[in-house]
Amino acid sequence: MAFQMLLNFFLAFLWMFLKTSFTPAAFVVGFFWGLVILFIFRSYFPDRFYLHRVVAIIKLFLLFIKELILSNLNVLKHVLKPKMDIKPGIFALPIDLQKDWEIMLLGNLITLTPGTLTVDISDDNKILYIHAVNIDDVKESVDSIKNTFEKAIMEVSR
């Protein structure tokens, strides 16, 4: 991805030199044509066209904002309930991610999901220990954590 982006910048500068106009507008136009050229030659690169990854990152960010708001509503619900009927607990969640930064991102996302908080990571980076504020309704949402977050992160790193 970094190589394709660098090539795109290089093509944008090339465009500026060809036009002999060194303005931000010329850079943007050159960047756009560079993007088109990279898209035409996408099969020559070992990894996929880098805009896919940019879109995946934006999707992950929107997911993050959505989960942050949902988790706040969840906390608000527990805090303002007159009777405290929570059932906290720590459960283990096996993960498939391998790289360190992916696991860090997943841990952070889980910390900001409704009712869950990452407490520890096993030494071999295969299991996340998650503290849940209400273990009954979290057990079901484990699947959704696995499907949405892990998939979204894999989409970025693929």
Nearest to 60 by CA among 155, 158, 145: 155
Query: Hunting for tokens 């283990």 — which residue is that?
Result: 92
Residue 82: φ, ψ to 5°: -65, -35
- Cα separation, 53 vs 138, whole angstroms: 30
Query: Which of 91, 141, 148, 157 touches other proteins by CB under 8 A?
Result: 91
Query: Which of 103, 118, 145, 156 touches other proteins by CB under 8 A?
Result: 118
Query: Which of 47, 96, 120, 137 touches other proteins by CB under 8 A?
Result: 120
Closer residue to other proteins, CB minimum distance, 16 or 133: 133
Nearest to 93 by CA among 152, 151, 139, 153: 139
Per CB under 8 A, contacts with other proteins among 66-85 are 68-69, 71-72, 75-76, 78-80, 84
Query: Which of 21, 23, 122, 147 touches other proteins by CB under 8 A?
Result: 122
Q: Kindly state whether residue 129 participates in binding other proteins, applying the rule CB under 8 A.
A: yes
Shortest spacing between CB 99 and other proteins, in angstroms: 17
The tokens for 52 are: 């896919």
Q: Kindly state whether residue 58 participates in binding other proteins, applying the rule CB under 8 A.
A: no
Please state, as a whole number, how many other Cβ atoms lie within 10 Å of the Cβ of residue 1: 16
